[in-house]
Amino acid sequence: MAVLQFFLGLVLLVGGAEALVRGAVRLGRSVGISSLVIGLTVVAFGTSAPELAVSLRAALLGPAGSDIALGNVVGSNIFNVLFILGASAMITPLVVSQRLVRIEVPIMIATSILLLIMGADGRISWPEGAVLVAGLLAYTGLAVLKGRPDDPSVEAEYAAEFGTAIRGVRPVALHVLLIVAGLALLVWGSRWMVDGAVALAASMGVSDLVIGLTIVAAGTSLPEVATSIVAALKGERDIAVGNVVGSNIFNVLAVLGLSALASRGLTVSAETLQLHIPVMIAAAAVCLPIFFTGGRIARVEGLLFFGLYLLYTGYLIVKASHPEAATSYRSIVLFLVVPLTTLIVGISVLQQLVANRDRPDLSKTPGR
C-alpha cells in the first residue's frame, strides 16, 4: 500500500506540474511576456512545483518531516545537475548561447553555499526562510530585467518551444483554469507521495533522509527530466540547461524558504551538513569552469556527470544496506574519484581555452 500510495501521488504530481506549466506558459504568452523570460522563470519554477508541494507537505509534519523536505531539495539539485545534464549532454553536446546562464550558475553556487551557512547551527529558522524568499524575488526581478537574448537564435528557440501568444478573455480564462487544476493535483499528489514515502522508509528500515535524497528527489524531478531531455533531443540546448539551473535556484530559495516559513523552521541533520549539501555544492561548482570557457558540456563530460550520480547513489545504498562498508566506499571516492574528476574537468577546460585562443576573431576581419 505504501508503494502504491507513493506512485499514485507521483503520477498526480507529474500531471499537476504539466498542467501548471502549460497553463502558466500560455498565460504568460497571452499577456505578452517574452519566450526567453518564460523559459528562465515560469518553466524552471513550474517544473519545481512538485518539490515545493512535497517539501511543504513534509515540513508541516513537524521535525519528523524536515529530513524529507531537505532531502528532497538537496537530492533534486544533485539529480538535476549530474543526472539530467549528464543524460542530456550524452544525447547531444550542450552549447549554451545565452549570457544569462553565466549569471545564473554563480547564483546557483551561491545559494547552495548560503544553505550550508544557514544550516551550520543545525536549523534553518523562519527568518532565514524569509531571507531565502526575498532572494527569490530579487532573482526573479534580475531574470526579467536581464532576460533579453544576446543571440536571435536563442529567442527563436524559446518561441518555437512555447508558441505564439493567443489573446482574448476566453483563452486567458482557460489558462487560469489549467493552472488551478494543476495546483489542485499538486496538493493532492504531494499528500499521497509524502505519506507513502514515510511508510516506505519505515517498511524498508532506512531513514527518511535517504528516501528524500533518492526516491522522492528523483520522482519530483521527473518534470525537469522530461523538459531538459526532450529539449536536448529537439536541439533546444538553452532550454535544457536553463531549466536545470533555474530549477536548482528555485529549489533552495523558494522551496526551502517557504517550507521554513510554513513550519517555523527546518531541522538540518549533521549528515546533511557534512555530506549531502557539500555534494550539492560540488555538483553546482563543476558547471562553472565548463560554462565560463565556452558554454559547452561535451558528451564525455555528460558521461562524467552521469557516472558521478551513480557513484553518489551507490554510496547511499551501501550506507543504508551495509554501513560497515560505507567508510571504505567513501574513501575510494575521495581519494580516487575526486582527483580523477578534477583532472578530467581541468583537461576539458584547458582544451576549450586553447580552442578559444586559436579561434579567429571575426570582429577584427577587414570589412566587419
Model confidence pLDDT, tens digit, residues 293-319: 556 677 888 888 888 898 888 888 888
Q: Residue 197's pLDDT is what?
A: 73
Q: Where are the beta strands (DSSP E) in the chain?
A: 94-95, 123-124, 266-267, 296-297
pLDDT at 111 over 90: yes
Q: How far is CA 253 from CA 45, 92, 139, 261, in A?
A: 11, 30, 9, 12
Q: What is the dihedral of CA 314, 315, 319, 321, to 10 degrees?
A: 10
pLDDT at 256 over 60: yes
Nine cell digits for residue 307: 557516472
pLDDT at 228 over 70: yes
pLDDT at 7 over 90: no
Residue 51 banded pLDDT, cuts 50, 70, 90: confident
Question: Lowest mean pLDDT: which of 119-133, 192-206, 275-289, 302-316?
Answer: 192-206
Nine cell digits for residue 64: 519528523
Average pLDDT value for the chain: 77
Model confidence pLDDT, tens digit, residues 145-156: 765 555 566 556
The C-alpha atoms of residue 46 and residue 17 are separated, in whole angstroms, by 6
Is residue 112 situated within a structural domain? yes
Q: Residue 326's pLDDT is what?
A: 76
Q: Residue 365's pLDDT is what?
A: 46
Mean pLDDT of 189-210: 73
Is residue 119 situated within a structural domain? yes
Model confidence pLDDT, tens digit, residues 154-193: 556 556 655 555 555 666 677 778 777 777 777 677 777 7
Proportion of the chain above pLDDT 90, given as a percent: 16
Residue 184, class by beta-carbon neighbours within 10 Å (0-12 exposed, 13-18 middle, 19+ buried)? middle
Is residue 156 situated within a structural domain? yes
Question: Lowest mean pLDDT: which of 52-56, 78-82, 90-94, 182-186?
Answer: 182-186
Which of helix, strand or coil describes residue 165? coil
pLDDT at 121 over 80: yes
Q: Residue 363's pLDDT is what?
A: 45
Question: DSSP letter at 36?
Answer: H
Q: Residue 110's pLDDT is what?
A: 94
Helix ranges (H only) for 221-276 are 222-234, 237-250, 257-263, 270-271
Q: Where in the sequence is the domain holding 140, given as residue range(s)?
A: 2-355
Task: Return the CATH number at 190.
Answer: 1.20.1420.30
Q: What's the number of domains the chain is made of?
A: 1
- Do 28 and 38 form a contact (C-beta atoms < 8 A)? yes
Mean pLDDT of 203-220: 78
Is residue 367 situated within a structural domain? no
- Do 311 and 333 form a contact (C-beta atoms < 8 A)? yes
The residue among 113 and 327 whose pLDDT is bigger is 113
The C-alpha atoms of residue 102 and residue 91 are separated, in whole angstroms, by 23
The C-alpha atoms of residue 240 and residue 287 are separated, in whole angstroms, by 14
Q: Residue 131's pLDDT is what?
A: 95
Nine cell digits for residue 104: 545564473
Is residue 365 situated within a structural domain? no
pLDDT at 261 over 60: yes
Is residue 273 situated within a structural domain? yes
Q: Residue 278's pLDDT is what?
A: 92
Is residue 180 situated within a structural domain? yes
Is residue 257 situated within a structural domain? yes
Nine cell digits for residue 150: 544576446
Give 310's contacts (C-beta < 8 A, 6+ positions apart). none
The C-alpha atoms of residue 249 and residue 132 are separated, in whole angstroms, by 10
The residue among 299 and 236 whose pLDDT is bigger is 299
